[in-house]
Amino acid sequence: MSPRLEDKLATFLLYILAALAVMFLMAIIFILLNAGIRVININFLISPPKAFQSGGGVGPQIANSFMILFLTLIFTVPIGMGAGIYLSEYAKENAITAVLRLSIETLSSLPSVIIGLFGLLVFVTTFGWGFSMISGAMTLTVLNLPLMTRITEEALRDVKRDLREASLALGATRWQTITRVVMVSAIPRLITGIILASGRIFGEAAALIFTAGMTSPKLTPDNFFNILRPAETLAVHIWKVNAEGLAPDARRIADGSSALLIIIIIAFNFLARSLTKKLYKRLTGA
């Protein structure tokens, strides 16, 4: 075959392959949404699950997912930002920094089931918090700390040197420069990062089955904010209804919950994109 013909053929095949890959991925989303959308209604969204009979909803699970997300962010965001600030603004290229980077890289590559077992060992058993919202949130904090650190470090590194130098030249301390100048101009990227991390936290299940638990009490105003109660999330629920098989309509529940998870995570993505654009416009006046 002449090289030219081979080139044409390869290009043609790559076009086909790209088209097929995208169609395949889109088909997966379509199948999942199509099966789930007809399940989702008000009753499904607010009523609690039922064992041994059909017609249950996922109301408490949705609430638990958001509560755990919120709790996790309370811990992850400040600590992750602190670590990111250190790596971007203070760290010198020395052995200590190398150890820091190695640890964070290691932590970010550990399987989530390992982090979940660590949570079981430390928060659930040693600290005696049991299967609870706080055990789950702390475990997810450990899981997402490296991500938040990287997001912050990269966002701060992108801020121009001029800004830092101008602020320092005006007599501001380093910390003032970081909090009032560098962080402020990195806000759009930080917000995007936090929202994308939220999507990951929202969909996590493996780290939660042994920490936040696989049950949820009937939610009342009294126990809603109790961080020591078990809090099964939406993602965990999808796994549990299939693993236990106690609900006769497990298929319906899993279909609805999966579609709901996808919709919420895609919504997070869009929110991140549009918010970044708006904030960027406001902060730069462009």
Partner 1 sequence: MKPKMMDKLGSFFAFFCALLSVLITIFILVFIFFKGIRTFTVDKISIFHFLFSANWNMENQNGQAGALAFLLGSISVSLLALLLSLPLSLGLSVFAAEISRKIGENFLQPVVEMFAGIPSVVYGWMGLSNLVPIIRKSFGGTGFSLLAGGIVLGIMIFPTITSISVDTLKALPRDLREASLALGATRWQTIKHVLLPAALPGILTGVVLGLARAFGEALAVQMVIGNSVRIPDSLINPVHTLTSILTMEMGNTTWGTLWNDALWSIALLLLMISLFFIGLIRFFAKRRVFR
Q: State in angstroms the smallest separation of the CB of 161 from partner 1.
A: 19
Yes or no: say if 234 and 62 are a contact pair by the CB < 8 Å rule. yes
Among 63, 117, 163, 271, binds partner 1 (CB under 8 A): 117
Among 39, 40, 67, 104, binds partner 1 (CB under 8 A): 104
* Total number of residues that touch partner 1 (CB under 8 A): 88
Pick the closest to residue 146 from 195, 192, 181, 197 (CA basis). 197
Q: Amino acid letter at 99?
A: V
Polymer length in residues for the chain: 286
Tokens of 273: 């994109």
Q: State in angstroms the smallest separation of the CB of 174 from partner 1.
A: 6
Half-sphere exposure of 196 (CA within 13 A, CB side): 15
Q: State in angstroms the smallest separation of the CB of 286 from partner 1.
A: 21
Burial (CB < 10 A; 0-12, 13-18, 19+), residue 68, is buried
Compute CA distances 111 → 116, 118, 134, 146, 181, whole Å. 9, 11, 21, 13, 37
Which of 38-46, 51-59, 72-80, 157-165 is the region at the interface with partner 1 (rule: CB under 8 A)?
72-80
Binding positions for partner 1, 45-64, rule CB under 8 A: none
Binding positions for partner 1, 4-23, rule CB under 8 A: 4, 6-7, 10-11, 13-15, 17-18, 21-22
Binding positions for partner 1, 159-198, rule CB under 8 A: 172-176, 178-179, 196
Q: State in angstroms the smallest separation of the CB of 152 from partner 1.
A: 10
Binding positions for partner 1, 27-46, rule CB under 8 A: 28, 31-32, 35
* Furthest-apart CA atoms within the chain: distance in Å: 77
Q: Cβ atoms within 10 A of the Cβ of 154, count? A: 16
Among 34, 46, 82, 267, binds partner 1 (CB under 8 A): 82
* 247 is an interface residue for partner 1 by CB under 8 A: no
Unique residue bearing structure tokens 């017609």: 55
